Amino acid sequence: MTTSHKPDRRDFLKTGAVVAGAAIAPGILFYGIAQGRAPEEGASSLVRWGMLIDTSKCANGCSACVNACNHENGLSGKTGPQDSQWIRKLNIKHLQTGIEHNLPMLCQHCANPPCVDVCPTGASMKRADGIVLVDRHICIGCRYCMMACPYKARSFVHEPLSDQNPDVPRGKGCVEACTFCVQRVDRDEQPACVEACNADGHQAMLFGDLRNPESAIAKAMKAYASVEVRGDLGLNTGVRYQGI
Amino acid sequence: MARFAYWLKLAALLGVAVTFAAIPLRQATADAKLPGLENRKGDKCVEDVDIIRRNHPDLLKHHRIETLRHGIRTTKYSLKGCVECHASAKTGSVASAKDDFCVTCHAYAGVQLDCWDCHASKPKTKPVQATEQQASPTMNPVQTGGANQ
């Protein structure tokens, strides 16, 4: 028998398994790797990105999420009527009881987005994974979407811009809004606002896949009551609020 | 006969006119200063230079749709990739001065550039230093008559 000294396939696989087992130290979290997708793989409708905001944890006077958004996306941070604001901190007060809530308001990434419905050119669009975006290449700046959005989430760029973030192209004459930091999400990172909120220790924002029952956000939404802002409109928003 | 002579004369006149008109045209083509595209990192583009020169708008347009609409983030035809390789050592940009990579050619061809109204014309990281940019025949548009890599 000439094959006796040759490593046979079964032995090879066994050795391989042992080596692989030894190489993987216990405790390493493979969550990130499992979630990641290859660059040539597109956004999938098996995923729906969403955000859960706990208004009881959102601190009064804190603007960490707003600052992080401005920095990540190259916004000026000004809040005039002609300045872009992708996320705003709101303070709402119940007139009868006087109870106050703080919450960040951003594009709600609706499943049935009115901005997409009204767009005459198809620039306003929803990606397969539920992220609502503006294709600036074909946006003509008509601003119908801004009128259609019940959340005032969109802004129009009035002045020429320079020194944009290479990951976030922006320019004059186009409408824009929160993208859930799509450039980060595609790299398997959290949106900048969520990261900043967590870094500040508030943990008021939770981002994840609504379609995956094992994700933290799906579990939280199953455990606690959450609401859509203007849920009566039936838009099925991707951003939900807790405690209002 | 008279008619034939008339046509002959007309043909001769036309021939002379065309010959004289062609001479300055040929001279102009030969003397035209083609844009120099010296700003680059490495010595090979993502496709043959001929293909890139003619089809870069289509490649970029296809890629932008893939990326924006479908979330496909391959880097081969990405505009960011162009900028990273071709940013000028002097200005750090592909489009902020007359000699920068995109501007030289687009000014020569008389084609307006809108990309940089929205896209960053500078890479996130610093471009390579001028010492790394050697004159390579593969990327030199003058005289070689196309890609030979």
ipTM of the complex: 0.79
Does A154 reside within a domain?
yes
CATH of the domain at A227: 3.30.70.20
Does A84 reside within a domain?
yes
How much is the pLDDT for B124?
A: 85
Does A70 reside within a domain?
yes
Whole-number Å distance between alpha carbons of B146 and B149: 9
Asked if A201 contacts A173 with a C-beta cutoff of 8 angstroms, the reply is: no
Does A31 reside within a domain?
no
Q: What number of C-beta contacts closer than 8 Å exist between A and B?
A: 53
Asked if B75 lies within 8 A of A39 by C-beta distance, the reply is yes
Domains contained in chain A, number: 1
Chain B CB within 8 Å of residue A156 CB: no
Does A118 reside within a domain?
yes
Chain B CB within 8 Å of residue A88 CB: no
How much is the pLDDT for A3?
A: 47
In this prediction, the residues of chain B whose per-residue pLDDT falls under 70 are 1-2, 4, 8, 10-34, 36, 125-149
Residues of B in contact with A128 (CB under 8 A): 70-71
Whole-number Å distance between alpha carbons of A98 and B114: 52
For residue A170, count other CB atoms closer than 10 A to its CB: 21
Domain that holds residue A190: 49-242
Does A198 reside within a domain?
yes
Residues of A in contact with B83 (CB under 8 A): 166
pLDDT in tens, A54-92: 999 999 999 999 999 999 999 999 999 999 999 999 999
Give me the residues paired with residue A124 across strands.
A134
Q: Which whole number is the average pLDDT over A20-31?
A: 47
pLDDT in tens, A110-128: 999 999 999 999 999 999 9
Chain B CB within 8 Å of residue A186 CB: yes
Shortest alpha-carbon distance between residue B120 and chain A (Å): 5
Residues of A in contact with B74 (CB under 8 A): 39-40
pLDDT in tens, A155-202: 999 999 998 999 999 999 999 999 999 999 999 999 999 999 999 999
How much is the pLDDT for A7?
A: 56
Does A4 reside within a domain?
no
Asked if A41 lies within 8 A of B118 by C-beta distance, the reply is no
Q: Which whole number is the average pLDDT over A202-211?
A: 96
Does A147 reside within a domain?
yes
Residues of A in contact with B70 (CB under 8 A): 42-43, 127-128
